Amino acid sequence: MQTEAALKQMVREKYSEIASQEKETNMSSCCGAGGCSTEVYNIMSEDYSSLAGYQADADLGLGCGLPTQFAHIKQGDVVIDLGSGAGNDCFIARHEAGPTGKVIGIDFTPAMIEKARRNADVRGYNNVEFRQGDIEHMPVASDIADVVVSNCVLNLVPNKDGVFKEIFRVLKPGAHFSISDVVLSGNLPDALRKVAEMYAGCVSGAIQKEVYLELIRLNGFTNMTIQKEKPIIIPDDILSRYLDAAGIEAMKNGTSGIFSITVYAEQPGPEKACTPGGGCC
């Protein structure tokens, strides 16, 4: 079994490569993991182009939802985007937060940070900044964010519990997050889990939906809501790389599946937080 450090390095290398790829390549692949499908439609990403603030050259086609659409961002808000990539979600968040707001994008891939900073600089966006760092140890102070968003990123992180603890830390009391991510229902075949390309492609790094939601609850968040959920259909030409015909048929007709969910939850603040032994957990 690979260590967390090895998995992170693998993802960093893959997303450094993705930073230089065309959007069409990323959208026709498993979350950017190379041109791994001959299908003409994208597998996970959704169409951002109708959202105000959208910048086509900052959209790498890597997302699995539209968290900024559901994030209830208000004028003047401080927004943090986890795994900010080339800056697409940050620029949409900037439009919602307005000139008095601030947006901080965090990404641990230097190539992505460089690309996002260029995209912001050419547009003169002085209230958007990009910081290189690990989202398990965010390079931001506590209690500063009104909203945290993220799009198809936490599934790539081995220590998801650590990320939710950090989200809780950086949110102001009463603030909230809206996160799109990939989760599983039932058992994903071992053949998919063991393939590094699929891990960097957002599939085999995913965990069970109920485990994911329980992590949110256990970290003290309240008012959790699934804002959107959709199945992710992996084309046969991808599945055939990892499964035989019987395995593909079993996956299609079985109880297992891969889903994109967008989850909302709130940081209740210290006066409302449930603490162990307090009788509310």
pLDDT at 181: 93
**Domain contains 281:** no
**Domain contains 272:** no
**Domain contains 275:** no
pLDDT at 63: 75
pLDDT at 271: 63
pLDDT at 144: 98
CB of 13 closer than 8 Å to CB of 203: no
Outline where DSSP puts E strands in 114-158: 128-132, 145-151
pLDDT at 30: 47
Q: How far is CA 13 from CA 9, 10, 21, 114, 259, in A?
A: 6, 5, 13, 15, 25
CB of 86 closer than 8 Å to CB of 58: yes
d(CA 241, CA 42): 18
* Total domain count, the chain: 1
pLDDT at 40: 33
**Domain contains 54:** yes
pLDDT at 149: 98
Own/partner long-range contacts of 19-26 (Cβ < 8 Å, ≥24 apart): 19/60, 19/85, 19/86, 19/109, 19/111, 19/112, 19/114, 19/115, 20/111, 21/60, 23/56, 23/59, 23/60, 23/61, 24/61, 26/60, 26/61, 26/62
Domain interval for residue 46: 4-266
Residue 47 in 3-state DSSP?
A: coil
Return the amino acid letter for 150.
S
d(CA 10, CA 200): 7
**Domain contains 273:** no
CATH of the domain at 117: 3.40.50.150
Phi, psi angles (nearest 5°) of residue 14: -65, -40
Q: How far is CA 11 from CA 39, 88, 132, 153, 230, in A?
A: 24, 20, 15, 11, 25
Tokens at residue 58, please?
């900052």
pLDDT in tens, 206-224: 889 999 999 999 999 999 9
CB of 91 closer than 8 Å to CB of 52: no
d(CA 21, CA 9): 19
Q: Enumerate residue ranges in the chain where pLDDT < 50.
A: 1, 24-30, 32-36, 38-42, 275-276
- Which parts of 64-103 fold into alpha helices (H)? 67-70, 88-97
Nearest of 104, 160, 152, 157 to residue 132 by alpha carbon: 104
pLDDT at 35: 45
pLDDT at 56: 65
pLDDT at 236: 81
**Domain contains 278:** no
CB of 228 closer than 8 Å to CB of 65: yes
pLDDT in tens, 126-159: 999 999 999 999 999 999 999 999 998 998 888 9
Contacts of 137 (CB under 8 A, 6+ apart): 166
